[in-house]
């Protein structure tokens, strides 16, 4: 029996950018739907009311963000009223 090797793609993005959409592989011959990962994440975040459940005022990311990403995240949270 010959082993099959999976093909995969890497969709990299930086924190300030939206998460990329990607085609979801299905069975051979099926049309691959495009999954909008950012839209799904945003909908789940909103439905679950994470903005009310997570205290972003003293929130530290582990592992720590780069200095540039820390500044960006702090400004993003302040713009949305999630951090003083």
pLDDT digits (tens, 9 = 90+) for 55-70: 888 777 889 999 999 9
CB 77 within 8 A of CB 60: no
For 46, list phi and psi in degrees, rounded to 5.
-70, -45
39, 27 contact by CB (below 8 A): no
Q: How far apart are CA 38 and CA 43, in angstroms?
A: 9
Sequence ranges of the domains in the chain: 8-53, 55-84
Distance CA 36, CA 45 (A): 14
pLDDT tens digit sequence for 1-29 = 666 667 778 888 898 999 999 998 888 88
């Amino acid at each position: 029996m010959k082993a099959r090797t999976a093909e995969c793609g890497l969709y990299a993005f930086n924190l300030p950018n939206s998460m990329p959409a990607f085609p979801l592989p299905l069975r051979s011959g099926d049309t691959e739907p495009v999954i909008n990962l950012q839209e799904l994440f945003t909908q789940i975040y909103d439905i679950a009311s994470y903005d009310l459940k997570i205290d972003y005022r003293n929130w530290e990311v582990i592992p720590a963000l780069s200095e540039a990403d820390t500044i960006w995240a702090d400004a993003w949270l302040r713009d949305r009223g999630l951090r003083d």
